[in-house]
Amino acid sequence: MSRPRCERCLRPLDHCLCPLIPSLDSRTRVVVLQHPSETSHALNTARLAALGLVNAELRVGEVFDDLERLLATPGYRPVVLFPGDEAGVLRAYEGDDELPLMLIVPDGTWRKARKLLYLNPSLAALPRVTLGEV
């Protein structure tokens, strides 16, 4: 028999992290596209990140039928967080009049993240950004 789980963070009730999850506001809309195999990982940090950001959501799947509609959300400039020769370094906003980003974050191993881009051509067509040097 499995242990009861928190409905929000999906961790066992005796290890629920919900009281520790902040509620951070962000001008950038973050959309995490999680490969289904990642949902069973013990930490499931993608879920925790989405829970901690007010302007974030988590979607689980390989093919996202409504992705084009999501990417066309008015008031946002969609980009995908994924390396590549043409990827630019993510930078701070320069002014209040700059259109906020919709940061699409594929969540999975490199192989699975590449597969998400391959299976969703509108995702692969987005400008790419990286976090730069750490």
pLDDT (tens digit per residue) in 53-82: 999 999 999 999 999 999 999 999 999 999
Does residue 45 or residue 134 have the better pLDDT?
45
Q: Is residue 16 part of a domain?
A: no
Q: Is residue 56 part of a domain?
A: yes
**Residue 124 to residues 36, 84, 100, 106, 116: CA-CA distances in angstroms?**
19, 11, 20, 11, 9
Q: What is the pLDDT of residues 2-44, one digit of tens each?
A: 788 888 888 888 889 999 999 999 999 999 999 988 877 767 8
Q: Is residue 126 part of a domain?
A: yes
pLDDT value for 1:
65
Amino acid (1-letter code) at residue 82:
F
pTM metric for this prediction = 0.89
Q: Is residue 119 part of a domain?
A: yes
Helix (H, G, I), strand (E, B) or coil at 123: helix
pLDDT value for 134:
57
Q: Is residue 70 part of a domain?
A: yes
Q: Is residue 13 part of a domain?
A: no
Count up the domains in the chain and report the number. Answer: 1
Q: Is residue 9 part of a domain?
A: no
Domain holding 62, by residue range, is 23-130
Torsion 83-113-5-56 (CA) sign? positive
Q: What is the pLDDT of residues 78-118, one digit of tens each?
A: 999 999 888 989 888 887 778 999 999 999 889 999 999 99
Q: Is residue 57 part of a domain?
A: yes
DSSP 4-15: PB-TTT-SBGGG
Asked if pLDDT for residue 131 goes beyond 70, the answer is yes
